[in-house]
A and B are shown apart, each in its own frame.
Chain A
Amino acid sequence: GENVEQHPSTLSVQEGDSAVIKCTYSDSASNYFPWYKQELGKGPQLIIDIRSNVGEKKDQRIAVTLNKTAKHFSLHITETQPEDSAVYFCASGDTGFQKLVFGTGTRLLVSP
């Protein structure tokens, strides 16, 4: 079955720095790649997603890139702020969203 690997498991940055989280998927049939932010005690919240017909997508300080050939996708957060501190999960699936396979998460800590 599909497997999603996510790195790093923890990431500490200073406020204003950029943060990059990387994921690799195994199923070449996957065509939908969302990123979720999860704060303590809350459910995951979708922050950005990308489909396989697009190589990059940006939304203000957040961007996602996809390399289908290498089966890699990455989350880029610029000008990080303390409120960006949370656990971030990548996931892969299909555009019918029958199910998502999640990575193991990255704990991002942004220090003031």
Chain B
Amino acid sequence: DTGVSQNPRHKITKRGQNVTFRCDPISEHNRLYWYRQTLGQGPEFLTYFQNEAQLEKSRLLSDRFSAERPKGSFSTLEIQRTEQGDSAMYLCASSLAGDTEAFFGQGTRLTVV
């Protein structure tokens, strides 16, 4: 078990382009979470999945953001028509259902130029 894995680690994109990030949770974990962290701030909740079902979405998750977890294993987060305000660290975490401890990945740092 190598922990939560996120790819890519860094992404630089031009404004208006689409980007997709991937998260591979710890293998037996049913729950998967996406957070966004801007410089000097704590992580902010975006959305979470239990198995393949997306159970909650923050109002921070605009229509340009979509997350999927098609087989209840890895997840993708797509941002369409990126804006400079989307520049942030995108963090993924996973946990066992019914267990509170969440393990975070290293994050994907997005820079929109």
Contact = CB atoms under 8 A, between A and B. Distances in A.
A100 B106 contact: no
Given A97-B31, A98-B55, A99-B33, A44 B101 contact: no
Interface string B39-78: 0111111001000000110100000000000000000000
B104 interface: yes
Given A97-B31, A99-B33, A45 B104 contact: yes
Contact of A98 (B40, B42, B48, B101): B48
Interface string A28-44: 00001010100001111
Contacts of A100: 43, 45, 102
Interface string A89-102: 10101011111111
Give the size range of A's interface with the partner: 20 to 34
A101 B45 contact: yes
A95 B41 CA distance: 23
Nearest to A93: B100
Contact of B100 (A41, A49, A102, A103): A49
A65 interface: no
A104 B39 CA distance: 10
B56 A44 contact: no
Contact of B42 (A93, A97, A105): A105
Interface of B: 4, 31, 33, 40-45, 48, 55-56, 58, 91, 93, 95, 98-107
Given A97-B100, A102-B42, A103-B42, 15 more contacts: A6-B42, A43-B4, A43-B104, A43-B106, A44-B91, A46-B102, A95-B100, A97-B31, A97-B99, A98-B48, A98-B56, A100-B102, A104-B40, A104-B41, A105-B41
Interface of A: 4, 6, 32, 34, 36, 41-46, 49, 51, 89, 91, 93, 95-105
